[in-house]
Copies of this chain bind each other. A is one copy, B any other.
Amino acid sequence: MTNNIVWHAHPVTRHEREQVNGHGSAVLWLTGLSGSGKSTVAGALEQALHQQGVHTYLLDGDNVRHGLCQDLGFSDADRRENIRRVGEVAGLMMDAGLLVITAFISPHRQDRQDVAARLSAGHFIEVYVDTPIAVCEQRDPKGLYKKARKGEIKQFTGIDLPYEAPLNPDIHLDGQKPLDQLVKQLICELKNREIIG
């Protein structure tokens, strides 16, 4: 600040933050149809990780659509911008040392690849929550499929718009398995990758 002060500042690195936290940082990107179970799995996983002292954060429509992305609608361009911003925020949070979990349909393969490309290699973990659309439609937790079938909602993924399933996801979840099994599978995968101990 003044000429006679020399401050050997260096930015705090992600690696240093990981050391304080005692675990690695990553982005666990859940993709799947509406009703596939993304948010449920993400919430249960976060709860389990938190109980183990892991520093996590869950990004989903609830905390993004009403804030950071409140200026965006549901056109294709806006949905892509939504995913882009979520990817950028997830990257910043990962840089902050967090294990970030995201739960968005994110139907476009290219959009997911673009997010992956922005992050350090091996830190974007694509998780495909694979649930047949018939099962999703039967669950229909928010009544959205019903509205889409009636034409009250246009451009609904799986009905009017395609969902591009991951061709080679890092983790494949059978969305019809019990929740506790899915959480165990994810925790096992995180341990195998030495992200958590």
Most chain B CB within 10 A, of A11, A16, A44, is at A11
- The residues in A between 92 and 114 inclusive whose CB is less than 8 angstroms from any CB of B are 92-93, 95-98
Residues of B near A7 (CB, < 8 A) are 40, 44, 179-180
Task: Choose, from A50-58, A147-155, A164-172, the stretch at the interface.
Answer: A50-58
Q: How far is the CB of A34 from chain B (nearest CB, A)?
A: 15
Number of copies: 2
A5 at the B interface (CB under 8 A): yes
A127 at the B interface (CB under 8 A): no
A142 at the B interface (CB under 8 A): no
A75 at the B interface (CB under 8 A): no
Residues of B near A59 (CB, < 8 A) are 92
Most chain B CB within 10 A, of A56, A64, A118, A175, is at A56
A96 touching B93, Cβ below 8 Å: yes
**Contact residue among B12, B81, B92 (Cβ-Cβ distance under 8 Å from A47):** B12
Please report the C-alpha to C-alpha distance between residue A75 and residue B175 in the assembled complex, in whole angstroms.
46
Residues of B near A97 (CB, < 8 A) are 55
Residues of B near A47 (CB, < 8 A) are 9-10, 12
Please report the C-alpha to C-alpha distance between residue A17 and residue B40 in the assembled complex, in whole angstroms.
20
A195 at the B interface (CB under 8 A): no
Q: How far is the CB of A133 from chain B (nearest CB, A)?
A: 16
